[in-house]
Structure 1
Amino acid sequence: MLNPIILKLLIKYTQNIDEPQWHGYLYVVVIVMINILTTIINAHYNHCIYKLGINIKICLMSALYRKSLVLSTNNETSVGQIVNLMSIDSQRVLIFLPFMSFLWSTPVQLILAMYLLYNEFGISVLAGVAAIALIYPMNILFIIYARMRQFKQMILKDQRMKIINDILNGIKVVKFYAWEMAFNKLIINIRNKEIRHLNVFSNLLNILQLPLESLPKMFNQLILVNVALNRMNKFFDLKEINPYVCREDSRLIVSIDNGDFSWDKTTDNTSFSLKHINLKISDGMFVAIIGNVGSGKSSLLSALLGEMEIMSGNVNIRKGARIAYVSQQAWIQNMTLKNNILFGKKFKPKLYEKVLHDCALIKDLQLFPGGDETEIGENGVNLSGGQKQRVNLARAVYSGSDIYIMDDPLSAVDSHVGQYIMTNIFDSKSGILRNKTRILVTNQLFVLPNVDLIVVLKDGKISSMGAYKQLLNNDNDFADLIKQYTSVDTNNNEDNDNNILLIIMKFLALNTIRQFGLRASKQVHKTLLSTILSAPMSFFDTQPIGRILNRFSRDFDV
């Protein structure tokens, strides 16, 4: 605002030959200094505001991630929606922050500008004031309508990302049945609907740019951040799992008293539930949980971890006791085999070598081209089923926890490997975990004589509990279960193909910066989708799904 005033004085100086010459130099120096000072202040402001924005974005992403971990099982939330919330909506909050100052600075600038114009042109400036007075109500109507369009567009974007995520997770089935074109058509149809909403939204913004320059930009970002905040608030309001696991000092390290659990607390007898669960485990006990398929073995472990809904009863795990969980489906990260085992823990050479030996990984390391520094693909794509489970188990053993909760880790390994792991890891006399509390879900009969307590589940209830010989002699359910297991071959063969296929391919990325606008976005999305669906399986074996999803979410946020 100072520049026009100084410029006016400079013009008067050029018209007044009696004014001292140094006034002209002074006016020029003042104009230059004002521009330099304005640039410095704006640069400092942008630096501070973007630094604040990055901190806010990180906090939002962390909060969204933590929320996703405690969501109740009956919430209808897709992976695509969570990806969009973390990558797009949180970014829009960051982008909006520099425009916040427009909320107060623009009206002040308008008032000052009108005052200066009034001094120059007099009463005729009221015509401009009247035009702005008419423009603001129109802006409000456009904002309301554009916000509705933006909200519908984000719903379509969530649907599109959910379908893409499902395709990537089941890409082998898609390619096996040659469903690429069908899914391609489905996604393109959703994208076209999304583009139609985006077209209307963009046209409205163009109308806003006619009267003023800064206000439409601020209104644009205000609409986007408003939709983003509403979506995040809706996500944060979703029902969470009630934290029911107590961590109190107790003589027992794990205990469940009269526990009733369900996967969905709101339904009436429509979801699987555990009833009348009473379980008491002391320090160092080796507990085996057995039962038929669907009897509730994995659900009982989930109840101990606090992942089910508790209907009644109490669950307590001793305060300070560290828990290691080995899932039935091995969880492998896209990093080296060594880092998969260490999992952020400090490297201890002796313990590390001991864990590799006891988990029967020494021979496998000799077959890997890089030993334990071999890069493991996402979901352990270059490992066999047995190797993935043994790496999963090695991570838990290396953690040095107090309680080990294991969901049938021996099902994916050969019988002789299972015997080796039983002797070197689980056994109460010779195993590396002999002094730890072990809770093992298993259908392997050779394990049962070596455990301290056997828990037999039937239809979500504990039908019997005791030592091996005691149950074998006195319990009909246990004896029937043993007969059932011995009548069929329950051994699962481990994939012995240790030839590791490491295919490094170069994927030509599309040049998405060739043009801007909705037409470019539509064409690039169509081409990218077609390329991804037609890519060979080796591409999906080496590329993380999250990386591909980001290409379809944040990179296409027009």
Structure 2
Amino acid sequence: LFTSDIMWIVSFSNYTHQVWIIPVQLGLVLYLLYNVLGYAAFVGAGIIVVTLVLNSGLAHAQRGLWRSLMVLKDKRMKVLEAAFSTIVDQKVETVADRQKLLPDIQAHREKELGALWGAFSLSAVVTAILYTAPILVTTASLAFYTLVLHQPITATKVFTSLALFRSLRAPLIGLPQITAHFMQALVALRRLRDFLNLTEKDPNLVLTPNQLTAVQYEQYATNNVDIAIEDGSFGWDADKPMFRGLNLQVKRAEVVILHGDDKSGKTSLCNVILGELEKYEGSVFVGGRVAYCSEDPWLQRLTIRDNILFGKPYDRARYNLVLEACGLRVLEDGFPFGDRTVVDGTKLSKADRIRVALARACYSDADIYVLDIAIDETTFQSCVLGLLRHKTVVLVSEDPAVIESPCIDKRFDVGKNVAVENKAKAKLHGHLVDALPSTSSSSLVLFRVSRGFQTDLHPPGRKRFWEEEAHILEQDVPSRCGRRTGCSRRSRASWSTRYVPRRHTDNLRPCDASFPCQNSFKKMATPARRPTKRSAATSKRRGGRLWAFLW
């Protein structure tokens, strides 16, 4: 729609003035011919009128052929994109497997070629008629002037009339080309008109805090409700709605899993939250900014980093946390240019594209995350239960390990329209969630998250993960490490298994305790170095080098 149709409109803009110039030019030439040949000029005018009428009928048929050709082209491109997606996602490498995708593509291509053959055949007929029209006009006018009117033909009249008839040649030859461009542009304009005249999205499909009164919003704010669907009826057809009597409530910082049979409406329920499905009854409330990841991720033809940033300023700590949580470190190290690799310039599997889309959503720092993607248990623990632990997450999953996780708050069976509270959720102290498995990797250290500062863009209860301070957990039994005043060492067994990569704590300097303690990590602008004593010979040698350099 926004490529070929726009191209036809732009190409016709070069001939816009020819639409009115050609009729004016034909009228002036016929008037001059009348002064030279008299009524014989109207014979030529009659042939021109017949030619134009015939051309108009052929142009009408040509417009229908071009319309059907564009429809067939759109269908072929959809089939071709689906075939390429299958080859990339399922890694179809053998020729035999690729041959199975050809029949459907060839069938659509044959239909398109048939319509294309008809359109160009009709264009050839129109061109032939209009190329022969000047010859017919000249012959008929001179024959009528001599045979019917019995007027003598002088050299002056012959050469003058031939010059005027030659002036008709250019507009009559240019007329079919202009007509073809006009019909194609007209079809494109009507397609754009139909698109722009589509029904606007109803702003009341999803209610936000700005659309509610203070009393209405207080009901949701008191209970910390971020998403609320009450007695909703949704669908694409009012007679056959997909959901009837739908009720779902998600509180702030909850993790809700949507599961169910195939084609039970999990993606449609996500569209209900986004306001993309028609609402016939009930109400939908969403109390924050929403980040959405679709099952078919959309990425721009930009670098991996630009796709993740998505126009937001680059923050190194925030960016690195997102890469670690979404499992993109391996993907970044697998390319020679790292995260500066252009997405369309390399072959990314669908799983990798999903990770990039998930990282983009996480970096946006939204309040609510609607994830209609398939993620493994590791990414679920590190991203949903780790990085997004203070966010409201609605995740579509069919993984039993994710559905039965003790760390989720609610499971919603979409097919049965039943929400089940997770009463077995782990009740851990503080803000910690004991979700990640233990590891012996030296690239990980234990950390605790404390409350970050609040801003106007983040109401109370919203936290920004990259501004949170990392430090070691405390234990109930106080004891001193003896290295620094006020430094309380804690038992390693009491620490939570929450992890953060060591590369994000390279600027933290440990104290001299035999094991980490409360004040083990102290913020520094740069990695600290232990001062060393220089010998007199070393100082003298370096001083001599300095004087030699200055000399």
TM-score band w.r.t. shorter chain: 0.5 to 0.7
Mark the CA change 1:388 to 1:218 in structure 2 (over 3 Å): closer, same or farther. Answer: closer
Unmatched 5+ stretches in structure 1: 1-84, 471-558
Residue of structure 2 aligned with 1:288, choices 257, 278, 291: 257
Which secondary structure does the structure 2 equivalent of 1:246 belong to? coil
Q: Which amino acid aligns with 1:178?
A: Q
Residue of structure 1 aligned with 2:16, choices 76, 100, 116: 100
* Aligned twin of 1:459: 415
Mark the CA change 1:286 to 1:312 in structure 2 (over 3 Å): closer, same or farther. Answer: same
* Aligned twin of 1:88: 4
Residue of structure 1 aligned with 2:60, choices 147, 154, 158: 147
Deviation at 1:201, TM superposition (A): 2.4
1:219 and 2:176 equivalent? no
Deviation at 1:329, TM superposition (A): 4.1
Mark the CA change 1:455 to 1:90 in structure 2 (over 3 Å): closer, same or farther. Answer: same
1:176 and 2:97 equivalent? yes
1:339 and 2:306 equivalent? yes
Mark the CA change 1:125 to 1:255 in structure 2 (over 3 Å): closer, same or farther. Answer: farther
Residue of structure 1 aligned with 2:370, choices 405, 409, 416: 405
- Measured on the aligned residues, the alpha-carbon RMSD in Å equals 3.4
The structure with the largest helix share of the pair is: 1
Contact 1:356 1:394 in 2 (8 A): yes
Contact 1:454 1:465 in 2 (8 A): yes
Residue of structure 2 aligned with 1:468, choices 402, 423, 437: 423
Residue of structure 2 aligned with 1:274, choices 243, 247, 261: 243
Deviation at 1:302, TM superposition (A): 1.6
Q: Distance between the aligned counterparts of 1:452 and 1:190, measured in 2? A: 51
Deviation at 1:455, TM superposition (A): 3.6
Listed one character per residue, the Cα deviations across residues 217-260 of structure 1 (whole Å, up to 9, x for unaligned) are 44333333333333444455567765622334333432212111
Contact 1:265 1:311 in 2 (8 A): no
Deviation at 1:299, TM superposition (A): 2.4
Q: Distance between the aligned counterparts of 2:366 and 2:423, measured in 1? A: 27
* Aligned twin of 2:161: none
Which secondary structure does the structure 1 equivalent of 2:186 belong to? helix
Residue of structure 1 aligned with 2:325, choices 337, 350, 358: 358
Residue of structure 2 aligned with 1:375, choices 342, 351, 354: 342
Q: Distance between the aligned counterparts of 1:226 and 1:390, measured in 2? A: 43
Mark the CA change 1:223 to 1:337 in structure 2 (over 3 Å): closer, same or farther. Answer: closer
Listed one character per residue, the Cα deviations across residues 446-501 of structure 1 (whole Å, up to 9, x for unaligned) are 5766556314225251x23434339xxxxxxxxxxxxxxxxxxxxxxxxxxxxxxx
Contact 1:160 1:191 in 2 (8 A): no
Q: Distance between the aligned counterparts of 2:111 and 2:261, measured in 1? A: 45
Which secondary structure does the structure 1 equivalent of 2:2 belong to? helix
Mark the CA change 1:130 to 1:222 in structure 2 (over 3 Å): closer, same or farther. Answer: farther
Q: Which amino acid aligns with 1:303?
A: V
1:441 and 2:366 equivalent? no
Q: Distance between the aligned counterparts of 2:193 and 2:278, measured in 1? A: 23
Q: Which amino acid aligns with 1:229?
A: L
Residue of structure 1 aligned with 2:229, choices 256, 281, 286: 256
TM-score normalised over the length of structure 2: 0.58
Contact 1:449 1:468 in 2 (8 A): no
Q: Which amino acid aligns with 2:329?
A: I
Which secondary structure does the structure 2 equivalent of 1:245 belong to? coil
Deviation at 1:265, TM superposition (A): 0.6
1:396 and 2:357 equivalent? no
Q: Distance between the aligned counterparts of 1:111 and 1:388, measured in 2? A: 62
Contact 1:205 1:220 in 2 (8 A): no
Mark the CA change 1:193 to 1:339 in structure 2 (over 3 Å): closer, same or farther. Answer: same
Could you say which structure has the larger radius of gyration?
2
Listed one character per residue, the Cα deviations across residues 38-93 of structure 1 (whole Å, up to 9, x for unaligned) are xxxxxxxxxxxxxxxxxxxxxxxxxxxxxxxxxxxxxxxxxxxxxxx333332222
TM-score normalised over the length of structure 1: 0.57
* Aligned twin of 1:47: none
Q: Distance between the aligned counterparts of 1:223 and 1:446, measured in 2? A: 56
Moved over 6 A (4+): none
Mark the CA change 1:135 to 1:236 in structure 2 (over 3 Å): closer, same or farther. Answer: same
* Aligned twin of 1:10: none
Contact 1:253 1:317 in 2 (8 A): yes
Contact 2:206 2:286 in 1 (8 A): yes
* Aligned twin of 1:208: 130
* Aligned twin of 1:323: 290
1:300 and 2:240 equivalent? no
Mark the CA change 1:432 to 1:193 in structure 2 (over 3 Å): closer, same or farther. Answer: closer
Deviation at 1:374, TM superposition (A): 2.7
Unmatched 5+ stretches in structure 2: 135-167, 211-216, 426-551
Which secondary structure does the structure 1 equivalent of 2:99 belong to? coil
Q: Distance between the aligned counterparts of 2:301 and 2:259, measured in 1? A: 33
Mark the CA change 1:140 to 1:226 in structure 2 (over 3 Å): closer, same or farther. Answer: farther
Q: Distance between the aligned counterparts of 2:230 and 2:415, measured in 1? A: 19
Contact 1:147 1:224 in 2 (8 A): no
* Aligned twin of 2:237: 265
Identity of aligned residues (%): 26
* Aligned twin of 2:207: 246
Contact 1:455 1:466 in 2 (8 A): yes
